[in-house]
């Protein structure tokens, strides 16, 4: 008799994968550990992956007091769902309610508006690099660090408009804290004009500010990555799967599996919407699961046992 399967988007997943570890647990065993991505637009509708412990079939997900949509419990440690709309920007608690109790992550998800910058683009010959420009970049980079589950940047100087002189230290900090966060999300690095910015020889330029703004627009929280499936499921023999990505025309992304048994022939950098393929290797052991980074999104991959 054929195994019973659940269908998610373009792929079906063996039913057995949904019950791995779904035994009855004490209420204090329901834990919400991470949300990926941890930020998105107030309009909602973005897929998030919730990782924790103690999840059971039928669990409900709430962002603040609003129930999430399209909730699927993949196993006792992973849930996928779509964010509900919010009234505006702000940070909310993410809760998972099960038959055995509830767990929550305070301030686990942040609704953010579109990025806006003062003097954008700077006028050649007229716009000096100001404290306000750096402060805006710090705020945006701290949001990226939040999405990457990193602490806020340690910033030199409390910037005072009209008083604080912007120097190379401020710009190098911005680059470092941004790239650290992006590396944690498996984004490839980039190069900057005047990489070392030696204070005695290189003045802070408009180009330095605009490069950071462009980098944030292409990989920041305003870039969301809608995938054609909520998860990829495969039987023990493995095989190939294709996934399409819908994102903004300026948004960049690459594909990075978290486990060696999932590979992609697509190691390049993409800009805008596109697609990629995954190859899942033959499984000779227990049912297994992993996550694949696609931009700031994470795609669950589950494989059954022989």
Confidence of residue 49 (pLDDT cuts 50, 70, 90): very high
pLDDT of residue 25: 38
Q: What is the CATH number of the domain that holds 66?
A: 2.60.40.10
Predicted confidence (pLDDT) per residue in 179-203, tens digit: 999 999 999 899 999 998 887 777 8
Residue 126 lies in a domain: no
CB neighbours of 65 closer than 8 A, spacing ≥ 6?
none
CB 276 within 8 A of CB 290: no
Q: Which of 3-7, 88-92, 216-220 has the lowest mean pLDDT?
A: 3-7
Q: Of 33, 80, 58, which is closest to residue 232 (Cα–Cα)?
A: 80
Greater confidence, 164 or 8?
A: 164
Q: Which helix (H) or strand (E) holds 146?
A: helix 131-147
Per residue in 88-114, pLDDT (tens digit) is 999 999 999 998 899 999 999 999 998
Residue 123 lies in a domain: no
Among the candidates 219, 251, 273, a domain finishes at 219
Give pLDDT, residue 200. 73
Asked if residue 240 and residue 106 are part of one domain, the reply reads: yes
Asked if 100 and 232 sit in the same domain, the reply is yes
pLDDT of 65: 95
Calculate what percentage of the chain has a pLDDT beyond 90. 73
| pLDDT in the model for residue 28 | 54
Is the pLDDT score of 45 beyond 90? yes
Longest dimension (CA), the chain: 76
Mark whether 244 and 181 lie in a shared domain: no
Do 103 and 34 lie in one domain? The reply is yes
* Whether residue 171 is found in the same domain as residue 187: yes
Give the C-alpha separation, 247 to 206, whole Å.
Answer: 28
Single pTM value for the model: 0.86
Residues 10 and 107 occupy one common structural domain: yes
Averaged over 235-262, what is the pLDDT? 95
Q: Are residues 9 and 105 in the same domain?
A: yes
Domain interval for residue 16: 5-112+223-303
Q: Which of 170, 199, 219 is the last residue of a domain?
A: 219
Number of domains composing the chain: 2
């Amino acid at each position: 008799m054929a195994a019973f399967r659940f269908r998610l988007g373009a792929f079906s997943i063996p039913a057995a994968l949904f019950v791995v570890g779904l035994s009855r647990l004490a209420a204090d065993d329901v834990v919400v550990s991470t949300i990926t991505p941890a930020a998105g637009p107030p309009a909602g509708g973005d897929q998030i992956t919730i990782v924790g412990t103690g999840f059971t079939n039928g669990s409900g997900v709430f962002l603040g007091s609003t129930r999430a949509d399209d909730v699927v419990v993949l196993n006792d440690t992973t849930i996928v769902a779509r964010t509900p709309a919010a009234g505006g920007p702000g940070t909310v608690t993410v809760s998972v309610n099960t038959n055995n109790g509830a767990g929550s992550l305070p301030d686990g998800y942040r609704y953010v508006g579109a990025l806006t910058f003062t003097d954008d683009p700077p006028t050649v010959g007229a716009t000096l690099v100001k404290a306000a420009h750096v402060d805006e970049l710090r705020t945006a980079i701290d949001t990226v660090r939040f999405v990457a589950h990193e602490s806020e940047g340690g910033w030199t100087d409390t910037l005072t408009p009209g008083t604080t002189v912007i120097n190379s230290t401020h710009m190098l900090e911005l680059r470092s804290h941004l790239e650290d966060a992006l590396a944690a999300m498996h984004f490839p690095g980039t190069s900057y004009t005047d990489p070392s910015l030696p204070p005695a020889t290189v003045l802070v330029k408009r180009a330095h500010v605009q490069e950071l703004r462009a980098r944030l627009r292409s990989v920041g929280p305003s870039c969301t990555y809608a995938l054609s499936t909520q998860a990829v499921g495969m039987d023990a023999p493995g095989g190939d799967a294709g996934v399409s990505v819908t994102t903004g025309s300026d948004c960049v992304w690459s594909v990075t599996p978290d486990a060696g048994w999932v590979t992609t022939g697509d190691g390049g950098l993409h800009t805008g919407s596109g697609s990629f393929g995954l190859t899942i290797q033959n499984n000779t052991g227990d049912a297994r699961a992993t996550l694949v980074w696609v931009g700031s999104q994470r795609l669950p991959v589950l494989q059954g046992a022989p």
